[in-house]
């Protein structure tokens, strides 16, 4: 097992591996995936020391949770399990009755009696956050949930939620390409003792350095449909942005992905990235980032090379952006 450092999610949350794993890609989001290979990869994650696994009921319409359930059937005690609910576009998903039924459905698919961290995936604009978190808190008291989290929320929403029940983590997109949360949400989370789980920490693959031309993007048409940063003009700009990252990584004996993850980890002990890959070789390489010691001058230089707003294109389509609480 690798000596991956461990971090605590906020002042009240669980202790997890400093590098987690986002499992969404195992359900065909970025290209085809083989369930048997995915099952082996999940076991290898634990063997490498990565025990913080992130899924959601919406990934593959339940497929992702069932896949992880196969791992849990054999190694539940080794996993810090996070799942999410409430990502759909329809209103009312944050209602207390939906909170309870969503968790019960997730538990059935996962084949377990509890989750360690339960997130609201997107804020329901028709339901006060106090009502949603209040219902989630009932699940904690019932022993079905260990800790609570929110995803893609504003600092104001986080403050309101924290008054109802301790929030252990906020899950937000955070990378050298996406630094919006640094202005308001990150300082608020630190003030309140809430950890930050960084999803898409490698810019959906562009920051790995493996994409040097549009033709290098797997499943390009689908990514363009979902993520405007993969539209041709924006993608060319964003690929060019990675040139200095590749140069700095080469000089340090790291891959661009390792350097991008190490930069995120250097932002504070309260930040836990959850990169996802269908290839175990990439996961093994990512693990090195958890122990890489970056000189503060390198951390500062990368921050200057990738200022907030440097990436071209919105993170999501207009419909997707409308679902974010900003």
- The pLDDT assigned to 2 comes to 60
Question: Tokens standing for 220?
Answer: 């390009």
Model confidence over 274-307: pLDDT tens digits?
A: 999 889 999 999 999 999 999 999 999 999 999 9
Question: Tokens standing for 141?
Answer: 């008291």
Residue matched to tokens 């980032």? 289
Residues near 300 by beta carbon (within 8 Å), at least 6 away in sequence? none
pLDDT at 31 over 90: no
Rounded to the nearest 5°, which phi and psi values hold at 116?
-80, -30
Put simply, whether the predicted model's pTM sits higher than 0.85 gets the answer yes
C-alpha 232 chain-centroid distance: 25
Lowest model confidence (mean pLDDT) among 39-43, 141-145, 211-215, 234-238: 211-215
Q: Kindly report the CA angle at 197 between 191 and 199, in degrees rounded to 5?
A: 140
CA 198 – CA 309 distance, rounded (Å) = 17
Q: Which of 88-97, 204-213, 252-261 has the highest mean pLDDT?
A: 252-261
Continuous segment of H or E residues that includes residue 148: strand 145-151
Model confidence over 105-131: pLDDT tens digits?
A: 999 999 999 999 999 999 999 999 999
C-alpha 190 chain-centroid distance: 18
Domain residue ranges of the chain, discontinuous segments joined by +: 6-322
Question: Tokens standing for 215?
Answer: 């033709």
Are residues 10 and 149 in contact, defined by beta-carbon separation less than 8 angstroms? no
Look at residues 199, 261, 221, 201 and name the one whose alpha carbon lies nearest to residue 30.
221
Residue matched to tokens 């990235």? 273
Question: Tokens standing for 195?
Answer: 């950890």
Bridge pairing between strands 52-54 and 167-173: unpaired
Does domain 6-322 fall under CATH 3.40.50.720? My reply is: no
Share of the chain above pLDDT 90, in %: 89
The residue count of the chain comes to: 326
Model confidence over 38-84: pLDDT tens digits?
A: 999 999 999 999 999 999 999 999 999 999 999 999 999 999 999 99
Bridge partners (DSSP) of residue 80 are: 52
CA 110 – CA 123 distance, rounded (Å) = 24
Model confidence over 258-276: pLDDT tens digits?
A: 999 999 999 999 999 999 9
Residues annotated as part of the active site: 59
CA atoms within 13 A on the CB side of 85: 25
How crowded is residue 238: how many other Cβ atoms within 10 Å of its Cβ?
21
Q: Quick one: residue 33, left, alpha or beta (phi over 0 = left, psi -120 to 50 = alpha)?
A: beta
How crowded is residue 236: how many other Cβ atoms within 10 Å of its Cβ?
13
Mean pLDDT of all residues in 132-156: 98
Q: What is the DSSP string of 106-142?
A: HHHHHT-S-EEEEEE-S--TTS-HHHHHHHHHHHHHT
């Amino acid at each position: 097992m690798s000596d991956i450092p461990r971090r605590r999610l906020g002042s009240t949350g669980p202790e997890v591996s400093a590098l987690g794993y986002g499992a969404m890609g195992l359900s065909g989001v970025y290209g085809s995936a083989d369930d048997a290979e995915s099952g082996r990869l999940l076991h290898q994650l634990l063997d490498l020391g990565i025990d913080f696994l992130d899924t959601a009921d919406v990934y593959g319409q339940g497929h992702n949770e069932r896949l992880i359930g196969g791992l849990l059937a054999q190694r539940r005690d080794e996993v810090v399990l996070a799942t999410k609910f409430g990502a759909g576009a329809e209103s009312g998903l944050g209602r207390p009755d939906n909170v309870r039924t969503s968790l019960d459905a997730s538990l059935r698919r996962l084949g377990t009696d509890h989750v360690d961290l339960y997130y609201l995936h997107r804020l329901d604009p028709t339901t006060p956050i106090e009502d949603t978190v209040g219902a989630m808190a009932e699940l904690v008291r019932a022993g079905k949930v260990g800790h609570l989290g929110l995803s893609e929320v504003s600092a104001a929403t986080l403050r309101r939620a924290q008054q109802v029940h301790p929030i252990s983590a906020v899950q937000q997109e955070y990378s050298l390409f996406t630094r919006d949360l640094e202005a308001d949400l990150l300082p608020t989370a630190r003030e309140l003792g809430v950890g930050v789980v960084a999803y898409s920490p490698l810019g959906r693959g562009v920051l790995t350095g493996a994409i040097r031309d549009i033709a290098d993007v797997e499943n390009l048409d689908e990514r363009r449909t979902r993520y405007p940063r993969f539209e041709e003009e924006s993608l060319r700009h964003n690929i060019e942005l990675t040139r200095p990252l590749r140069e700095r990584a080469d000089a340090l004996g790291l891959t661009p992905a390792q350097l991008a993850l190490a930069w995120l980890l250097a932002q504070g002990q309260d930040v836990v990235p959850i990169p996802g890959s269908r290839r175990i070789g990439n996961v093994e390489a990512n693990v090195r980032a958890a122990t890489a010691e970056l000189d503060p001058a390198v951390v500062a230089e990368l921050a200057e090379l990738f200022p907030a707003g440097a990436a071209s294109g919105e993170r999501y389509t207009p419909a997707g952006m409308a679902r974010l609480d900003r």
